[in-house]
Amino acid sequence: MRKHLGIEKKREKKRERKMSRPHIVAIPYPAQGHVIPLMEFSQSLANHGIKVSFVNTEYNHKRIVKALAGESLIDLVSLPDGLEPWEDKSELEQISEALKWIMPGKLEELIEKINGGDGENVTCVMADHHIFWALEVAEKMNIKAVAFWPAAAASLALLLSVPKYIDEGIVDNDGTVLKSQNVDMGTNMPTMKTKDFVWACIGDFTMQKMIFDLMLKLNSSQKLAQRAVCNSAHDLEPEAFTLIPEVLPIGPLLASSRQGNLAGNFWPQDSTCLEWLDQQPLSSVIYVAFGSFTVFDPTQFKELASALELSERPFLWVVRSDTNTTDSICDPYPEGYLERVASRGLMVSWAPQQKVLAHPSIACFVSHCGWNSTLEGISNGVPILCWPYFADQFINESYICDVWKAGLKFDRNESELITKEEIKNKVEQLLGVEEFKESASKLKEFAMTSIKEGGQSNKNFNNFIEWLQS
């Protein structure tokens, strides 16, 4: 009898432990600009007592663990991506396709395994909006579902309107743009050219169709989720949040605001550049970085290199090992370049970008306008020179230049080249007109106020935690 009571007590204790706190399984889209903010959000939740198991593809998991600086507050787990070992893991479209076949079953198994073990039961699946199938798993398993949007609210509003653009004959059912025009989203909102739609400026027809289909699924994610959160701040884009009032701003998600190290990098950060920045005059350095995907053809790369030389200012330039389309044996720089710029230019393969942009030596940011880079720039009051390539980068460029007036666009010549003279002139114009810096400083205030005690993003974050605990 006594033995039986002992077993019962143990069981009761285990039951209590398993229900003691919420446990989120978080799943990012497997790209750098998606992993970093979701991991940042997860770390902030963990700081508030929520348990998080963060699921990466095996390939990304290995890279992230290798590049990790310091301890992780969350459990890092991995699942196979469904691609064969010889298939290219950086081909996102292939990965997205493969993931949706293999991962739902694996995710279900993972959740069942966690629930069968000694730790806390999984109470919520939080997935990137692009990972709609994870939210379907949550529905099937009867647990909470959260959709996470890592980009601007304006981008989400635009993409959720795709069915409307089909109805209006602007695009067809395959995503092919039928009308070349500007899409005006409203007052104080970015203007989009239809040719710059997220899917329309990437690769060939097959790729465009695959991405278009993925975009159409965003509406499913939005419907499946009981909560949708966005890495932005209300005051940065109030009109966009009016269009999608069910999406809650909880950003900007920055490692510095929780006094932690940036987590989720695919490459190790070269922190020596921070010491180099310490030696540069205040507000003097041009920081040049194009995120994790952008590649350069040799002519454009040399043109940018020459522009930085012509500018006669100190510069810090992130040149990833895969930045150039030339093979790695060729020297991508103009002849004698590295010796000529050695005294005032520094190239690194991956920077601690958030810390770089917070450094007082930085004067401006030459950026591809990925949303994370955009947020990190403006959260530090840094004006931006915009060099967008694809995806949501044109929307972000329009925010920066047309709406916020915190930056300038580059013009291309008749050969589609951004010349060294154009780059040098725009750097001078940006740094010569005080208004750009003033606008960027105002944006910094909006961004930082929102995440402070009492700010809109902070309130949403606290309400979100209460809901997780309910």
Residues contributing to the site for ligand UDP (CB under 6 A): 31-33, 36, 265, 289, 291-293, 318, 350-351, 353-354, 370-373, 376
Nearer to ligand UDP by Cβ, of 158 and 318: the residue is 318
Nearest residue to ligand UDP by CB is 33
Helix 456-469 and helix 32-47, axial crossing angle in degrees, nearest 10 = 70
Nearer to ligand UDP by Cβ, of 36 and 110: the residue is 36
* 95: its two tokens: 């990965």
Rounded to a whole number of angstroms, the minimum distance from the CB of residue 105 to ligand UDP is 28
Distance, in Å, from the CA atom of 146 to the CA atom of 52, rounded to the nearest integer, reads 13
Residue in the block written with tokens 């809109």: 456
The partner residues of 366 in beta bridges, in order of sequence, read 288, 385
Rounded to a whole number of angstroms, the minimum distance from the CB of residue 172 to ligand UDP is 28
Rounded to a whole number of angstroms, the minimum distance from the CB of residue 407 to ligand UDP is 14
Distances (CA, A) of 161 to 151, 175, 197, 209: 16, 13, 12, 17
Residues in Cβ contact with 328 at an 8 Å cutoff, skipping those fewer than 6 apart: 321
Nearer to ligand UDP by Cβ, of 122 and 451: the residue is 451
Distance, in Å, from the CA atom of 27 to the CA atom of 34, rounded to the nearest integer, reads 10
| Secondary structure (3-state) at 291 | coil
Rounded to a whole number of angstroms, the minimum distance from the CB of residue 192 to ligand UDP is 18
Nearer to ligand UDP by Cβ, of 150 and 175: the residue is 150
Rounded to a whole number of angstroms, the minimum distance from the CB of residue 111 to ligand UDP is 28
| Secondary structure (3-state) at 406 | coil
Contact 377, 384 (CB under 8 A): yes
The partner residues of 227 in beta bridges, in order of sequence, read 146
Whether a cis peptide bond, with omega within 30° of 0, leads into 190 is no
Nearer to ligand UDP by Cβ, of 138 and 318: the residue is 318
Distance, in Å, from the CA atom of 367 to the CA atom of 385, rounded to the nearest integer, reads 6
Rounded to a whole number of angstroms, the minimum distance from the CB of residue 364 to ligand UDP is 16
Distance, in Å, from the CA atom of 402 to the CA atom of 129, rounded to the nearest integer, reads 27
Contact 183, 194 (CB under 8 A): yes
Nearer to ligand UDP by Cβ, of 353 and 460: the residue is 353
Nearer to ligand UDP by Cβ, of 96 and 354: the residue is 354
Secondary structure letter of residue 296 according to DSSP: B
Rounded to a whole number of angstroms, the minimum distance from the CB of residue 343 to ligand UDP is 22
Rounded to a whole number of angstroms, the minimum distance from the CB of residue 371 to ligand UDP is 5
Nearer to ligand UDP by Cβ, of 306 and 373: the residue is 373
